[in-house]
């Protein structure tokens, strides 16, 4: 196995070039090329030819490549289908807000969590992404955009806490001052609620924002749409949330995908309010994106607003997520799924 350079931090790169009999500063030069989005050793013009040769024998750069790009005419949201070194695909989405650009990245090729409404989990999990592949999604999209990306959400394909070590290494890489220099408070991680990993994360006392995919107000309904709930109940998830808040002082956000007739009645809003009462939290309501295979649909505007109002009445802060890039609509995991079907059909 060749070393994947994009997964290394600056001191690891310096150690690597020194092992190859080169001065330490060459490590810094390679580091700078990687963060500029260099895709081959030939791009690294200030490195001696023999070092470039040696590197290409011992190492891979490990970056992702843009396979397809869709740009919204409404709000400039961009969706990217990205190809990995081994031919697999993942997705990233770039959104423009007043305060800057936010990228939503994938953390695994596929997902094994099996949520019933989600396209990413159809076909299961292929593999974890490396720390470098997580990082490379940002560098690659930033290069394409020509502007700095200031916020990251791990909310694309995959379950980030099921790829724990690589995600931690990625956060370290993203934080590094000479690299992307994105602070922990600008990084969010969304999980379906892997309780032991949530507690482990809390113990590390990072300042990242934790988002919990809740999607139902009781265990019976949650288990019906999220199989992980059979392993970790709502009570266990909420207790891990309390632990996270206690350890980090950070507010937690809950995501609640509204599915018509499944979890979006006013009674369910009330039950949710009771569940979250007194917690330092915020609720993001997400009208479900239609995925052909699932048959789930979103309710109309009035139904969604009634749900939100009920939470508000009970003192729970909630916002309905603004739909971004509706003209290039492809819910998380759909581009990859479409590409895989095309490949299977030999198109």
**Contacting range for ligand SAH; rule: CB under 6 A; set: 13-21, 75-83, 112-120, 231-239:** 112-120
DSSP-derived secondary structure for 227-288 = GGGGTS-HHHHHHHHHHHHHHH---EEEEEEE-TTTT-SHHHHHHHHHHHTT-SEEEEEEEP
CB-based contacts of 216, cutoff 8 Å, min separation 6: 222, 224, 225, 226, 229, 234, 263, 268
- Select 143 or 221, whichever has its Cβ closest to ligand SAH: 221
**Helix/strand number for the chain, H first, E second:** 11, 14
192 makes contact with ligand SAH (CB under 6 A): yes
102 makes contact with ligand SAH (CB under 6 A): no
Distance of CA 253 to the CA centre of its chain: 15
64 makes contact with ligand SAH (CB under 6 A): no
291 makes contact with ligand SAH (CB under 6 A): yes
Q: How far is the CB of 323 from ligand SAH (least distance, A)?
A: 10
35 makes contact with ligand SAH (CB under 6 A): no
Q: How far is the CB of 299 from ligand SAH (least distance, A)?
A: 13
Spatial contact of 210 and 43, defined as CB atoms under 8 Å apart: no
268 makes contact with ligand SAH (CB under 6 A): no
User: Of 111, 118, 281, 332, which is the active-site residue?
Assistant: 332
- Select 29 or 257, whichever has its Cβ closest to ligand SAH: 257
C-alpha distances (whole Å) from 308 to each of 43, 269, 289, 298 are 52, 8, 18, 14
Rule CB under 6 A: choose which of 47, 216, 252, 288 binds ligand SAH.
288
Active-site residue 332, yes or no? yes
Q: Which of residues 308-337 bind ligand SAH (CB under 6 A)?
A: 331-332
Spatial contact of 38 and 29, defined as CB atoms under 8 Å apart: no
How many other CB atoms are found less than 10 A from the CB of residue 285? Answer: 20
Q: Which of 247, 266, 334 is nearest to 305 (CA)?
A: 266
C-alpha distances (whole Å) from 203 to each of 152, 189, 227, 243, 290 are 22, 16, 26, 9, 37
234 makes contact with ligand SAH (CB under 6 A): no
- Select 10 or 331, whichever has its Cβ closest to ligand SAH: 331
User: Of 91, 133, 159, 268, which is the active-site residue?
Assistant: 91
- Select 51 or 206, whichever has its Cβ closest to ligand SAH: 206
Instruction: Kindly state the DSSP code that residue 47 receives in the 8-state scheme.
Output: S
Active-site residue 91, yes or no? yes
**The token pair that represents 345 in the structure block:** 């059909």
- Select 206 or 330, whichever has its Cβ closest to ligand SAH: 330
**Contacting range for ligand SAH; rule: CB under 6 A; set: 58-66, 115-123, 124-132, 202-210:** 115-123
Q: How far apart are CA 35 and CA 50, in angstroms?
A: 22
**The token pair that represents 7 in the structure block:** 């997964």
Rule CB under 6 A: choose which of 33, 89, 117, 254 binds ligand SAH.
117
Q: How far is the CB of 150 from ligand SAH (least distance, A)?
A: 20
**Contacting range for ligand SAH; rule: CB under 6 A; set: 43-51, 172-180, 187-195, 268-276:** 187-195
Rule CB under 6 A: choose which of 145, 176, 245, 286 binds ligand SAH.
286
115 makes contact with ligand SAH (CB under 6 A): yes
Q: How far apart are CA 66 and CA 144, in angstroms?
A: 9
Question: Would you mind telling me the total number of residues written for the chain in this entry?
Answer: 347
Q: How far is the CB of 118 from ligand SAH (least distance, A)?
A: 4
Sign of CA dihedral 139, 140, 146, 150: negative
Residues labelled catalytic: 91, 332
Binding site for ligand SAH (CB under 6 A): 113, 115, 117-118, 155, 159, 190-192, 213, 255, 257, 286, 288-289, 291, 331-332
């Amino acid at each position: 196995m060749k070393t994947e350079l994009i997964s290394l931090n600056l001191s690891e790169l310096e150690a690597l070039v020194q092992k190859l009999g080169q001065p330490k500063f060459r490590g810094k030069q390679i580091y700078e090329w990687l963060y500029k989005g260099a895709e081959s050793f030939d791009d690294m013009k200030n490195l001696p030819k023999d070092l470039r040769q040696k590197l290409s024998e011992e190492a891979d750069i490990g970056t992702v490549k843009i396979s397809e790009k869709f740009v919204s005419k409404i709000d400039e949201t961009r969706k990217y289908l990205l190809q990995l070194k081994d031919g697999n695909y993942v997705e990233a989405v770039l959104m423009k807000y007043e305060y800057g650009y936010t990228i939503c990245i994938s953390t695994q090729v596929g997902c094994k969590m099996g949520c019933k409404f989600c396209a990413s989990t159809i076909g299961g999990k292929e593999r974890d992404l490396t720390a470098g592949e997580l990082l490379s999604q940002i560098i690659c999209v930033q290069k394409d955009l020509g502007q700095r990306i200031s916020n990251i959400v791990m909310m694309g394909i995959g379950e980030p806490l099921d790829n724990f070590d690589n995600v931690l290494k990625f956060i370290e890489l993203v934080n590094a001052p000479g690299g992307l220099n994105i602070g922990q408070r600008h990084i969010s991680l969304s999980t379906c609620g892997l309780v032991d990993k949530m507690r482990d994360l809390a113990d590390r006392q990072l300042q990242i924002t934790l988002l919990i995919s809740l999607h139902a107000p009781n265990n019976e309904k949650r288990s019906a749409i999220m199989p992980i709930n059979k392993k970790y109940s709502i009570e266990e998830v909420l207790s891990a949330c309390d632990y996270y808040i206690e350890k980090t002082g950070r507010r937690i956000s809950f995501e609640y995908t509204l599915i018509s007739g499944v979890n979006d009645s006013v009674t369910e809003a009330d039950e949710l309010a009771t569940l979250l009462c007194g917690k330092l939290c915020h609720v993001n309501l997400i009208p479900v994106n239609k995925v052909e295979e699932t048959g789930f649909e979103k309710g109309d505007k009035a139904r969604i607003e009634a749900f939100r109002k009920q939470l508000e009445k009970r003192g729970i802060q909630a916002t309905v997520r603004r739909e971004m890039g509706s003209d290039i609509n492809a819910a998380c995991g759909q581009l990859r799924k479409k590409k895989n079907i095309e490949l299977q059909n030999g198109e």
